[in-house]
Chain A
């Protein structure tokens, strides 16, 4: 009897969390990033010396800090989803704002990194490595900015009581997008900053 009650209280889900359209969007985004990652890897294979020497100029500690910030941001957003599942709208909003702040810290650090790179006279046309480096990191950077806008919008609505424990698809949709941004960086960071 107890088992039946537990199963009834936790129905198995068939659909992914949040809006289905977001999952199609996530798949499309991952496809684009995947093509860029492979283009980088195979372009490197044709000019290893150039890629290794150019990569040595990157600030790997800055890349590490950004990775830690994005993972912490994903953790905060996962806590936001857990909070709204328990009906805690205010708590959800606070966790989302923390995710927003961590995303903002990532953006500031990235702007400083871009400033240093561009200040050194490096542009998209400097060489193939820097073309990929700037293309990949700038493209990802704009996804972080879009994710921050989404998190802010959902955090405001959550703070106003716009979501409930039984109706919070918006929070899950925003969280799914934010985790996708983190997932992409988890491949980008070792590829561009570490592997050589």
Chain B
């Protein structure tokens, strides 16, 4: 049962990666594509942290440190990119 869950998580991560790549190939420029691509990275990162690193069931300071790092990094990247839009 655990193996089946890991297999499912792996397949979902691969599919999300293909979605992210496909979106980038279709342009990848602008607020909406950036939000979706960085959002997919957030979902994938959280999945890695909670499922593969197995910090989800444990909780604690290291889970929050890693999730905090992921959220802060992606949010600041988004901020830097949005600042380059012509209307900004």
A residues lining the B interface (CB < 8 Å): 12-17, 23, 26-27, 30-31, 34, 37-38, 41-42, 44-45, 48, 60, 64, 67-68, 71-72, 74-75, 77-79, 81-82, 85, 172, 175-176, 179-180, 182-183, 186-187, 189-191, 193-196
Contacts and interface: CB of A to CB of B under 8 A. Distances in A.
Interface string B21-61: 10111001100001001101100110011011111011010
Contacts of A190: 20, 24, 37-38, 40-41
Given A186-B41, A194-B21, A195-B28, A34 B62 contact: no
A73 B10 CA distance: 9
Nearest to B54: A17
Which secondary structure dominates where chain A touches chain B? helix
Category for how many chain B residues contact A:
35 or more
A15 B65 CA distance: 14
Contact of A34 (B51, B63, B72): B72
A186 B48 contact: yes
Contacts of B3: 79, 82
